[in-house]
Amino acid sequence: MSIIMMLSIKKRDALIIVDLQVDFCPGGNLPVPEGDEIVPIANKLVELFEKQGGQIVFSRDWHPDKHMSFKECGGPWPAHCVQNTRGAEFHPDLFIPPSAIVVSKATETLKEAYSAFDGTRLSETLHEAGIERVFICGLATDVCVKSTALDAIKLGYDTYVIQDASRGITKESVEQSLKEMKSVGVKIIESRQILTN
């Protein structure tokens, strides 16, 4: 029987919830299958980190109207998460405390950004707060969650991806992404492994 590693959240920990937005949930313009099912888990994690004094970060796609990633502009995706539209809003049931940091990415027409660290000041903000470990979840496991985790490792953070608090586009792509993340030192965990002191 394998022993499950339990983790306690401290003040030097950050929770990064990636792109839990209307357009990435069922009914949106670019839905991730079962994307809305992670909202209750995400809310529990937010409450835990707030209680333990950890930093809470929400990243969001915040695209201009004619972003290069859109099919109409030669990109791979349908138009999604356009600035100041309903699709760009966070899921309505997501708990966002006043202390949370909101990071907007892919805000320039001619620049793509999947990672919450790409083109933002997130790393500087976390460094200034003394953050050493980051716990990442959200949408999608095989796109923006993966990119954020890979950047976090490169930037020197002890990096965890919370598998049951994330959803991906396809099973095969998620499995491949998890392997890729593990190969560079990202730890894949379940939300139940995070305990309060």
Identify whether 144 is a catalytic site residue: yes
Among 13, 19, 61, 151, the one annotated catalytic: 19
Among 144, 146, 151, 187, the one annotated catalytic: 144
Convert the chain into a string of H (helix), E (strand) and C (coil): CCCCCCEECCCCEEEEEECCEHHHCCCCCCCCCCHHHHHHHHHHHHHHHHHHCCEEEEEEECECCCCCCEHHHCCCECCCCECCCHHHCECCCCCCCCCCEEEEECCCCCCCCCCCCCCCCHHHHHHHCCCCEEEEEEECHHHHHHHHHHHHHHCCCEEEEEEEEEECCCHHHHHHHHHHHHHCCCEEECHHHEECC
User: What gap in Å lies between CA 59 and CA 37, rounded to an integer?
Assistant: 18
User: What gap in Å lies between CA 126 and CA 134, rounded to an integer?
Assistant: 9
Identify whether 61 is a catalytic site residue: no
Identify whether 151 is a catalytic site residue: no
The terminus-to-terminus CA distance of the chain in angstroms comes to: 25
Among 23, 25, 61, 105, the one annotated catalytic: 105
Read off the amino acid at residue 147. Answer: S
Which residues are catalytic, by number? 19, 105, 144
